[in-house]
Amino acid sequence: MQIMISTIKSNRNIPEVVLKAAIHLFTEQGYFNTSVPDIVKKSGVSTGSIYHHFGDKTGIAKALFEMLVKRMENAFDDIERKHDSVQSRLRAVIEYLFQLTEEEPEVMTYMLFIKHKEIMPNMAPVCSSKPFTKMRQMVVDGMANGEIKTMDNMVAAASLFGGAFRLISLRLDGVLERPLMEYQDELWRCAWQSVQK
Amino acid sequence: MQIMISTIKSNRNIPEVVLKAAIHLFTEQGYFNTSVPDIVKKSGVSTGSIYHHFGDKTGIAKALFEMLVKRMENAFDDIERKHDSVQSRLRAVIEYLFQLTEEEPEVMTYMLFIKHKEIMPNMAPVCSSKPFTKMRQMVVDGMANGEIKTMDNMVAAASLFGGAFRLISLRLDGVLERPLMEYQDELWRCAWQSVQK
DNA sequence: TTGACAAGATTGAACGTTCATTCTAGTATG
DNA sequence: CATACTAGAATGAACGTTCAATCTTGTCAA
């Protein structure tokens, strides 16, 4: 019996295939160095289909961003459910970020280092998105329940997460040769010491 | 052709005028959203002159970057000359970065948050440039002379500067409403506490 | 089971625009 | 007169997007 083309075609999820190609190209060469024909070539999906699903080129970047933000948000919700103390929550957040950086560097690059404002001019900065406000809320909670020194919220959050973001950035730039996990314990000791009561 | 009066012409430094227009446009809208005609309009310098001085569009971005890196390098050399202890040097570096962010946010944005690799594909990441390696060298020196706990260099540097970079980033994104100087003391206490012996 | 049909998905060639760069002509300087 | 600089219109390639045609899928009457 002949295999119908239709069954093969219907087996691929076009948005998924396109987003996979897009995140690779966007993080590798940048959004503006990636043409729609590039995405067509890489994904095997036609121009027309891409426009049918995403509206325009920025629609791809937007869909990708929203997907990844939601994913990170869910991960943080999980962490809050699984840990009681603020300290262990914060540590788990950093562990998650480090793991994500190692396992899916493109995801981390896209979330942290793509200038989304250049692509979507009236988008709020990443640091105002749910996952990031949630991180800061954890710090506020820790100050309220006495785990963290009383001080400016922003300074406390920056002190706690700043080192982690620095290492992630260095790792993604290829400056750090060993996986982030190897730095985790030492970094956390520094970070926690800087704000603990 | 337009007739120019010679005195007007000789009085303006074309590279300077162009770079001034460019940094404004690049940080405001992004490099790829800025066309050469945009720069022509903003600077008042003709297309031909721009190409004569800079070769191509990336030449503008490159000249700008090199100028700013050199400037920061000189500032750090000054700091090393004026301070003896590693602790006061590091504190001075953060103070300088905070001041620069407040006084010339465009300069800081261009140095830290423009993806230069997208513009000049085979450029080393910013964190490998002289000023940044010098910052890390200060930390290494501090470990050698006993001011800083013995630990991984990168973790120590990330812990010391991570919080500062975080606050700079938040400030440039408009999330932090008050000038960075107001956070400086509290932040430095956290940062230094995390690595001091 | 079959055929007709509608709605939606998919295709890629074609379109109009914009961009970086080049070109030719003109001007200042020594 | 030569060299360095300035000017802005012209150029051609590349881009994002559109569109008319084609294919797929699900529905329903006979």
What pLDDT digit, counting tens, does each position of A74-83 carry?
Answer: 999 999 999 9
Q: Which of B118, B125, B183 sits opposite A175 (nearest CB)?
A: B125
Alpha-carbon torsion angle B73, B79, B85, B91, nearest 10: -90
- Would you state the structure tokens that stand for residue A138, as one six-digit string? 């954890």
Backbone dihedral angles phi then psi of residue B196, each to the nearest 5 degrees: -65, 155
Cα–Cα distance, B194 to B197 (Å, whole number): 9
Q: Which residues contact B19 (CB under 8 A, 6 or more apart)?
A: B60, B63, B64, B67
CA distance A75 to chain B (A): 22
| Nearest partner of B153 among B138, B166, B165, B167, judged by Cα | B138
Say if residues A191 and A164 touch (Cβ distance below 8 Å).
yes
> B128 and A194: CB-CB below 8 Å?
no
By C-alpha to C1' distance, C23 is nearest to B48
Given a cut of 50, whether residue B9 has pLDDT beyond it is no
Same domain, B18 and B51: yes
Longest dimension (CA), chain B: 70
Same domain, B87 and B27: no
Say if residues B117 and B74 touch (Cβ distance below 8 Å).
no
Nucleic acid strand C within 7 Å of A53 CB: yes
Instruction: Give mean pLDDT, residues A40-44.
Output: 97
In a domain, B1, yes or no: no
- Please write the tens of the pLDDT for every residue from B159-193: 999 999 999 999 999 999 999 999 999 999 999 99
What does the pLDDT read at residue A31? 98
Same domain, B73 and B51: no
CA distance A155 to chain B (A): 6
Nucleotides of D under 7 A from a protein CB: 5-10, 14-21, 23-25
CA distance A157 to chain B (A): 8
Nearest CA in chain B to A170: B127
Q: Terminus-to-terminus CA distance in chain A, angstroms?
A: 73
Q: What percentage of residues in chain B have a pLDDT greater than 90?
A: 92
Nucleotides of C under 7 A from a protein CB: 9-14, 18-29
Cα–Cα distance, A191 to B157 (Å, whole number): 12
- Please write the tens of the pLDDT for every residue from B105-118: 999 999 999 999 99
Strand partners, B148: B196
Say if residues B194 and A191 touch (Cβ distance below 8 Å).
yes
Q: Which run of H or E residues covers position A127?
A: none
Domains contained in chain A, number:
2
Same domain, B177 and B85: yes
Cα–Cα distance, A67 to B42 (Å, whole number): 38
Same domain, A74 and A137: yes
Cα–Cα distance, A60 to A35 (Å, whole number): 12
Collapse the DSSP code of B196 into the 3-class scheme (helix H, G, I; strand E, B; otherwise coil) and give the result: strand
Task: HSE, CB side, 13 Å, CA atoms: give it for residue A182.
Answer: 8
Footprint of strand D on the protein (CB under 7 A): A 4-7, 9-10, 34-37, 47-48, 51, 56-58; B 1-2, 4, 9, 14, 45-49, 51-53
DSSP state of B45: -
Q: Which of A128, A151, A187 sits opposite B158 (nearest CB)?
A: A187
Same domain, B41 and B98: no
> A151 and B186: CB-CB below 8 Å?
yes
- Would you state the structure tokens that stand for residue A183, as one six-digit string? 């730095």
In a domain, B5, yes or no: no
- Please write the tens of the pLDDT for every residue from B36-92: 999 999 999 999 999 999 999 999 999 999 999 999 999 999 999 999 999 999 999
Same domain, A15 and A73: no
Given a cut of 60, whether residue A114 has pLDDT beyond it is yes
Cα–Cα distance, B33 to B31 (Å, whole number): 6
Instruction: Give mean pLDDT, residues B112-140.
Output: 96
Chain A 81-110 residues in 7 Å CB range of strand C: none
List the domain range (segments joined by +) for residue A182. 68-195
> A30 and B118: CB-CB below 8 Å?
yes
Nucleic acid strand C within 7 Å of A15 CB: no
Question: In Å, what is the separation between the CA of B1 and the C1' of D9?
Answer: 11
E strands, chain A, are: none
- Would you state the structure tokens that stand for residue A107, as one six-digit string? 């995801």
What does the pLDDT read at residue B3? 38
What does the pLDDT read at residue A12? 78
Sign of the Cα torsion B32, B38, B43, B46 reads: positive
Same domain, B41 and B75: no
Same domain, B110 and B186: yes
- Please write the tens of the pLDDT for every residue from A45-97: 999 999 999 999 999 999 999 999 999 999 999 999 999 999 999 999 999 99
In a domain, B4, yes or no: no
In a domain, B82, yes or no: yes
In a domain, B6, yes or no: no
Reported as a pLDDT band with limits 50, 70 and 90, residue A11 is low
Mutation choice for B interface testing from A182, A190, A196, A197 by most B CBs within 10 A: A190
Planar angle of CA B170, B80, A173, nearest 5 degrees: 45
Given a cut of 90, whether residue B4 has pLDDT beyond it is no
- Would you state the structure tokens that stand for residue B104, as one six-digit string? 């010339």
Same domain, A19 and A113: no
Mutation choice for B interface testing from A31, A155, A165, A176 by most B CBs within 10 A: A155
Same domain, A73 and A142: yes
Collapse the DSSP code of A35 into the 3-class scheme (helix H, G, I; strand E, B; otherwise coil) and give the result: coil
Chain A residues whose beta carbon lies within 8 Å of the beta carbon of residue B32:
30-33, 118
Question: What CATH number has the domain bearing residue B169?
Answer: 1.10.357.10
Q: Which residues contact B110 (CB under 8 A, 6 or more apart)?
A: B23, B26, B27, B64, B65, B68
Question: What CATH number has the domain bearing residue A30?
Answer: 1.10.10.60
Same domain, A171 and A117: yes
CA distance A9 to chain B (A): 35
Given a cut of 70, whether residue B134 has pLDDT beyond it is yes
What does the pLDDT read at residue B31? 98
User: For residue A183, what are the CA distances in angstroms to A142, A171, A189, B155?
Assistant: 24, 11, 10, 7
In a domain, B158, yes or no: yes
